Amino acid sequence: MGDDSHLIEETTEREEILRGGFLHVVRDTVKLPNGRFATREYVLHPGAVAVVPILDDGRLVLERQYRHAAGGVMIEFPAGKLDAGELALACGRRELLEETGYVAREWAYAFTMYPTVAYSDEAIEIWFARGLELKGAQLDQDEFLDVFTATPDEFLGWCRDGKVADSKTLAAALWVQNVIAGTWKLDWQTPSVAA
């Protein structure tokens, strides 16, 4: 789509404005394409991985979790933040096991999503997982969630009816629909057990 110089902003300054227990927020000064200056405040985030786990019978593994900021129980695919230096696939395997108790034999990268382009640098990689075997969840003592399964039709119906409202889960639903229809292809890999 050609030259983007009429759109791009250049950072001229950065100031840390919040170092919370969880959130880290900076304020950048940027030079706009017209030469004027503006500020951009946003959350610095390590990135995250979400997993679409598909059982051998085609059912999806999902979670119900209370989300304080959203003020309700949300239906979501398993997901979590990258640890320092952690690769996305390793994070997906860790979060899938910790939260749902499943290990997966095969993995496929699907897409990357920015949940909040206006005020966070978070990117979420979405991976599909199949060849699932139940080992038992390893939740932290202060982590509470229900794991359940649904057919793709049930799940897509919930997306249509507003029962699914989490962005990564809705965006992944586009992939669920097209992968199951066979119109979008995934490149499955079998990582080594130790990796």
Interacting positions 37-56 with a second copy (CB under 8 A):
38-43
Residue 8 within binding range of a second copy, rule CB under 8 A: yes
Closest CA to 77 of 44, 45, 104: 104
Q: Residue 115: CA atoms inside 13 Å, Cβ hemisphere, count?
A: 21
Span 119-158, contacts to a second copy by CB under 8 A: 119-123, 141-142, 144-146, 148
Run of H or E including 40: strand 37-43
- Output the smallest distance, CB 34 to a second copy, in A: 7
Q: Which of 55, 98, 177, 191 binds a second copy (CB under 8 A)?
A: 177
Residue 153 exposure: Cα atoms within 13 Å on the Cβ side: 0
Rounded Cα gap, residues 138 and 94, in angstroms: 10
User: What are 177's two structure tokens?
Assistant: 């629909």
DSSP lists the bridge partners of residue 139 as none
Can residue 188 be called a binding residue for a second copy (CB under 8 A)?
A: no
The single-letter code of the amino acid at 63 is E
Q: Which is nearer to a second copy, 131 or 184 (CB)?
A: 184
Site for a second copy in 68-127 (CB under 8 A): 68-71, 73-74, 76, 111-123
Rounded least distance, CB 7 to a second copy, Å:
4
Q: Which span (3-11, 52-60, 86-94, 100-108) binds a second copy, by CB under 8 A?
A: 3-11
